[in-house]
Amino acid sequence: MGAWGTGIFENDDVLDWKADLLDSEGIEFIEETIEEATDEEYIESELASNVLGAIEILASLQGNPGVEIRNNSSYADDLSGWITIHQGRGKKLISKAKKVLKKIKKDSELKELWEKSEEYQIWLNTINDLESRL
């Protein structure tokens, strides 16, 4: 899985996605990521990780950052400038983001991988926290 923790940004896939986001000009990259998952019946692990990153940024843009962004974790420390520039954007994506989060929690490869670990409940709490901040 390439994950070393239960945080949104604690895996290789989302860090690669984050690098692409930081190179992007606007929130279209976030919209494309969420849209891609909306079209999938079953969300593979890599896409699910990327979508969770996109939704975390979306929540942050609405003034509801998670602990990784609030505390400037080493994996999210370079996001604050991007978030500040785009603050308040993306409200129209919230409904789709909520639907995709439900899909990830119900039936996704990422969920299945976490279910096999002893940290599944911690991961699920992280996802539930993200959902509550949208």
Q: What is the pLDDT of residues 35-68, one digit of tens each?
A: 999 989 999 999 999 999 999 999 999 999 999 9
Alpha carbon distances (Å) from 86 to 18, 43, 61, 82, 89:
15, 27, 7, 6, 6
HSE of 87, CA atoms in CB hemisphere, 13 A: 7
What is the 3-class SS of 34-74, one letter each residue?
Answer: HHHHHCCCCECHHHHHHHHHHHHHHHHHCCCCCHHHHCCCC
Amino acid at 22: L
CB 13 within 8 A of CB 2: yes
Q: What is the pLDDT of residues 80-115, one digit of tens each?
A: 889 999 999 999 999 999 999 999 999 999 999 999
